[in-house]
């Protein structure tokens, strides 16, 4: 099976935003919600967490705080 994901299709290499979710259902709901937004609203969300647009690494559970 040759599945073309967004990251492989567009050769995405850097993380600018992430959001922790309680479970997969919540993550899917949030993803669907954000996908429906216009680009400017998505950029506002990214800038609210990462105003310098620095490349991020997902912290370990010990380092992170739930949203």
- What are the boundaries of each domain within the chain? 13-49
What 3-state class would DSSP assign to 35? helix
Q: Which two tokens stand for residue 42?
A: 């998505």
Q: What is the mean pLDDT of residues 34-56?
A: 96
Q: What is the mean pLDDT of the chain?
A: 86
Q: What is the mean pLDDT of residues 1-15?
A: 79
Q: What is the mean pLDDT of residues 10-16?
A: 86
pTM tops 0.85: no
What 3-state class would DSSP assign to 29? helix
Confidence at 2, pLDDT banded by 50, 70, 90: low
């Amino acid at each position: 099976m040759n599945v073309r994901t967004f990251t492989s299709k567009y050769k995405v290499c850097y993380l600018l935003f992430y959001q922790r979710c309680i479970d997969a259902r919540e993550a899917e709901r949030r993803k669907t919600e954000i996908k429906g937004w216009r680009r400017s609203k998505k950029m506002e969300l990214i800038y609210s967490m990462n105003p310098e647009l620095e490349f991020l690494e997902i912290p370990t559970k010990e380092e992170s705080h739930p949203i």
